[in-house]
Structure 1
Amino acid sequence: MFLWQPRLLLHYRIQQQLTCRCVHSLASFQQVSRLPERKWRGVVFPFSSLEGHLDRSVDRGDFQLFHPSEEDLQRAERLFTPSAKHVILYTSSAVRMDHVPEIQQPEVCFIGRSNVGKSSLIRSLFSLAPEVEVRVSKTPGHTKKMNFFRVGQAFSLVDMPGYGHKAPRDFVDMVEPYLQARENLVRTFLLVDGSVGPQRADLVAVEMCEEFGLPYVMVMTKIDKVRPGILLPHLLQVQNLIKTQTKYCFAQPFLVSSTQFSGVHLLRCFITHVTGNLQMDSTTS
């Protein structure tokens, strides 16, 4: 039935031998959890480092809706760790819906402006599988196709082309049909640059997600590039946008840094949860 599996396993073993597994020390939650508690919590839950800068009148509740346990984080990490029986790999690219691979497993996709750091974030999510090729360019707008990654039999992840002035010419014809017609799409992750806050193009993307009735999440990237005094107003702006102008967006915005791995472990856990691979008793999704 699965004639391709022996070839994939052989490819995996060869890549394991040829690839230098130079994994960042903060890529693994097991390593992060060995840090002093205040420090590892700041990495895993970036909002905890900002909370002290907030005015007392600000409700903290919506920033901590998804708060998994250490056990949950460890279980999620295992899903992002490859093995011979759990292969994580890039599978294909597509520019039209008739090129999109037909799969049954749950799927998540990442969209955002061309220079928001989308591919960098995906590479950090897959950092425990360095043999997975996620191309990251210094030139904004590098991603011109829909790139599909498979995480074993658990779920697939799609890196979408960036929108904005560097978007591919056929962006609308490529992306909108996918978002509207992809039946196994369980969550869209809308990335916003934390160093500049939501831009006009981001607001258009929010309107599109709302129009299509998509369950989506807003993720603020590059939080290591800006001081708390600048990041916080942008975070509050996003939170106000979610509260006042959205119906289908998850109430909690996520904060991430692809280089410092802040929030990456939490995002892995959330993806694992919304794809049905991690059951949690006390969370809203």
Structure 2
Amino acid sequence: MSLRHTGVLLRSQPLAHPWLLPRRSVHSPASFRQVSLLPDRKRRGVVFPFSALEGHLDRRVDWEDFQLFHPSEEDLRRAEELFTPSARHDILYTSSAVRMDHVPVTQQPEVCFIGRSNVGKSSLIRALFSLAPDVEVRVSKTPGHTKKMNFFQVGGAFTLVDMPGYGHKAPRDFVDMVEPYLQARKNLVRTFLLVDGFVGPQKADLIAVEMCEEFGLPYVMVVTKIDKVRPGVLLPHLLQLQSLIKTQTKYCFAQPFLVSSIHFSGVHLLRSFIAHVTGNLQLSS
């Protein structure tokens, strides 16, 4: 389907050239080295955000699918090296495109991020690249700020593509820009479909899921803004999404990822997953 036409068990509980901005300093939670110094429970909550929700789940709920991808601390450290620039490993914005004949030609693996306008996509990409302070990704309070496909090169390892948001603030030529890319980009190894944890999957998100299924794209769901929502609101949305993945998808990775771009919760895990699916990280366990 084209984007052109765009029961929960809980325990009772109390409830553009945007890359020329001033240089940022690296925030300490962005580094796994700093997170590893935290007390065990807090460290686990940052690296594996779902662990903080387990106590709120009814025991009859199967939570195994939320922990399928479980890298070791050594894996997390090795993945972090991939997102850290060095003299031999540049991380940089390379180009923007509005048509397939404008996209850069590259053979290295590629991942793209797509989601509804104002889902927090640019904020998440900025958090992923927070260890590379020269790479600036503009984060706007105005939905639909991203109007082009923006390409970021991570050394010779992979390319990350920031796609325009879909929904009522999408660019007029969104479909002509995005669908040909998703269908024709042969080195695209994974699409990351972002869903707002505060409001849960919306109609436009379900259309995006149908599109990924129709195109046969390997993709993964990422739940954003988990710092802005209480467990009693987040968990129903999360379990609704998990039911959707189990019953209505064929190409979606079974585990949804939870992230907070503000507190860096889940960011280290997502870096490891990206490193893994692009062939740059063989898990030690």
TM > 0.5 between the two?
yes
Where in structure 2 are the equivalents of 1:215-254 lying within 5 Å? Answer: 215-254=218-257
Match of 2:144 in 1: 141
- Counting only pairs closer than 5 Å after superposition, residues 143-158 of structure 1 correspond to structure 2 as 143-158=146-161
The answer to whether the aligner puts 1:33 opposite 2:36 as a matched pair is yes
Offset, 1:121: 0.2
Q: Are residue 270 (structure 1) and residue 273 (structure 2) matched?
A: yes
User: What SS does the corresponding residue of 2:124 show, helix, strand or coil?
Assistant: helix
How far 1:280 moved relative to its partner? 1.7
- Distance in 2 between residues matched to 1:20 and 1:121, nearest whole Å: 18
Q: CA RMSD in A?
A: 1.2
Identify the match of residue 212 of structure 2 among 209, 212, 216: 209
Query: Helix, strand or coil: the match of 1:265?
Result: helix
Q: Distance in 2 between matches of 1:91 and 1:28?
A: 24
Query: What are the Cα deviations for residues 27-71 of structure 1, in whole angstroms up to 9, with x where unaligned?
Result: 000000000011010000000000110010111110000000000
Runs of 4+ in 1 over 3 A off after TM superposition: 18-21
Q: Percent identity between the aligned chains? A: 86
Deviation per CA, 1:183-218: give whole Å up to 9, x if none.
000000000000000000000000000000000000
Given that 1:44 and 1:263 are in contact with CA atoms closer than 8 Å, whether structure 2 keeps it comes out as: yes
Q: Deviations over 1:152-172 (max 9, x none)?
A: 000000000000000000000
SS in structure 1 opposite 2:189? strand
Partner deviation per Cα, 1:110-145 (whole Å, 9 max, x = no partner):
000011000000000000001102111110000000
Among 169, 173, 178, which residue is 1:175 paired with?
178
**Structure 1, gaps ≥5 residues long:** 1-14
- Residues 227 and 93 (structure 1), Cα distance of their counterparts in 2 relative to 1, 3 Å cut: same
Say whether the 8 Å CA contact 2:23–2:136 is kept in structure 1. no
Quote the Cα distance in structure 2 between the aligned partners of 1:19 and 1:143. Answer: 19
Instruction: Give distance in 1, aligned partners of 2:236 and 2:133.
Output: 35
Alpha-carbon displacement from aligned partner over 1:66-105 (angstroms, at most 9, x marks no partner): 0000000000000000011100000000000000000010
CA distance in 1, matches of 2:36, 2:283: 20
| Matched positions, count | 266
Q: Is the 8 A contact 1:19 1:130 kept in 2?
A: no
Q: Residue 71 of structure 2 contacts residue 284 of structure 2 at CA under 8 Å; is this kept in 1?
A: no
TM-score, length-scaled by structure 1: 0.92
Distance (Å, rounded) in 2 between the aligned partners of 1:148 and 1:257: 23
Deviation at 1:22, TM superposition (A): 1.4
For residues 49 and 77 of structure 1, what CA distance do their matches in structure 2 show? Answer: 23
Query: For 2:53, what is the secondary structure of its paired residue?
Result: helix
Secondary structure in structure 2 of the residue aligned to 1:26: helix
Instruction: Point out where structure 2 has 5 or more consecutive residues left out of the alignment.
Output: 1-19
Q: TM-score, normalised by structure 2?
A: 0.92
